[in-house]
Every structure is written in C-alpha cells, then in structure tokens.
Structure 1
Amino acid sequence: MKKTLFIICISLLSTAISYGQGQNDFSGSWMYSVTDTPYGNFYGTIILNKSGETYNGKVVNKAGKQYTLDVLRVKGNRLVFSSNVEETNSIFNCSFKGDSVLATIEVKGDKFLYKLKGKKVSGK
C-alpha cells in the first residue's frame, strides 16, 4: 500500500512539474550585458512576444540597431534562438529564472563562448 501511494505521489508531482514548465512566459523586455569578450562589452535589450506556443521578437543593441530573432526551441525554462545581432550568425541558449536570464552565445566562425546576463525590465 505504501509503495502504491508513493508511486501515485511521484506521478502527481511529475505531472505538476511538467505542467508548470509549460506555463513559463518569457514575454517582455530583457536588458542584457555581454562583457569581457575579445571585442569589448555589449549591452542592449531583448524583446520577446509570445505568439501561440512560441515567440517572436528582436534584439536591440545599445546604439538602437534592431536585429530580428528566430526562436528554434522552447522547453521548460529554456529558450533557444538565432539572430544576426552585431552582423554575426549567433545562437543564444537562454535559461530563465524569475526576472533573470543567463545565456551562452555561440557565434559561427568564432571559438570564443560568449556569456549573457540579463534582467527583465518590463512585461508579464
């Protein structure tokens, strides 16, 4: 009986966790910084808008130049997108926690692994 109750509890917990993961909403504006790179420091805003089960948006650098982003994957607290930000071919692997985002950025043809830190400044 205890074993059956334990299995039911684990099953319910697992269902609750997976349901909660599907409810994440990353919509809004996220101020970011990418510092200590071989090319200097970079700052700007990532703007994400939820559209059905995915997102669209743009990256706006400190100078105000806008770059579209293409969402490749959304799962749990993670979002992966590509962008030609700063005239590069980049993949952003983002992890969201509350009002913070951390990401690694892989730039095609560049061996340096960039790290992004950000905070939500507006939105849900």
Structure 2
Amino acid sequence: MKSSNTSLKVILTLVMLSFAVSCGSGNSESSNSDRPFNPVGKWEYKVTTDVSYGEIDISKSGNTFKAVMTTEVFGTLDLMNLKIEENVLTADLDVGGTPAIIKCEFDGDDFTGAVVAGETTFPMVGQRAGD
C-alpha cells in the first residue's frame, strides 16, 4: 500500500510539473511582443476618405530610417523629416505642392493613422505587405 501511495505522489508530481512547463511555454507570444518593433519593409495603405491606396516602403541604413510613399495620383513621395519612435511614424510630405504631415501608429503588422494637409485630415489604415 505504501508503494502505491509513493507511485501516486510521483505521478501527481509529474503531471503538475508538465502542466507548469506547458503553461510557461504558452507565453512565447508575449515574449515576441517584448521585442522592439521593426518597421522596415513594405506596408500597404488605404486612405479611407478618398479610398486612395498605395504602399509605403521603409528602409534603414545604420540608425537612419528612410521611406517613400507610392500613391495613385501623385506618384512616389519622399517622407521627409521621418521619425520612428517606438511604434509611431511621423513625417512631412509634399503632396502636389501642398505640405502635409503623416502620422501612423503601428500595432504588430497593422497600422492606423492620418495624412493632414492644411485643415483637412485624411484617415488611413494599413498592414504589412505580404511577400
């Protein structure tokens, strides 16, 4: 009888350990979110007011980010004075002679933001482009 109690304790201990290990490994997703955000790559966007769409291509050389925005109407626009801090991108644009500001907040592989030209704000949404 004593032997079966010891065996039962060993089995229960093993079950509890395996449960604890599996719960701990389930946090691998949250450890991915602890990694710094990397905006480098192509991002598809849609300006929701005008239903305009295109792509933002972000690159990095050393510690400096560069980006260009491809549009349907205005061709390719350089994002000037580009800043990416944590998960927020801000930059200046020249949209057909009109100065504008773009601001996007990234959340994983998605972003929301706006292009502000004068007193008009154009909301936009986007996601990382598939390869």
Residues of 2 paired with 1:87 and 1:41: CA distance?
21
SS in 2 for 1:25: coil
The structure 1 residue matched to 2:38, chosen from 25, 35, 44, is 25
Matched residues in 2 for 1:118 and 1:33: separation? 6
Distance 2:72 2:110 in 1: 19
Contact 1:26 1:50 (C-alpha < 8 Å) held by counterparts? no
Deviations 1:27-86 (CA, angstroms, capped at 9, x unpaired): 1111111122xxx32111010001222311211113682111124322111111112235
1:100 aligns with 2:113: no
Distance 1:51 1:63 in 2: 29
C-alpha distance in 1, partners of 2:81/2:39?
12
Opposite residue 25 of structure 1, the aligned amino acid is N
The separation in 2 between residues aligned to 1:48 and 1:42, in whole angstroms, is: 19
Name the CA shift for 1:96/1:86 in 2 (closer, same or farther; >3 Å).
Answer: farther
Alignment RMSD: 2.1
SS at match of 1:89: strand
1:116 matched to 2:124? yes
**The structure with more radius of gyration:** 2
Structure 2: which 5+ residue stretches go unaligned? 1-33
Residue correspondences, number: 98
How far is the alpha carbon of 1:122 from its aligned partner?
4.4
Match in the other structure for 1:12: none
| TM-score (ref. length: structure 1) | 0.68
Partner residue, 2:11? none
> Would you tell me which structure has more helix in proportion to its own residues?
2
Letter in 2 for 1:111: E
How far did 1:87 drift? Answer: 4.1
Q: Which runs of 5+ in 1 are unaligned?
A: 1-19
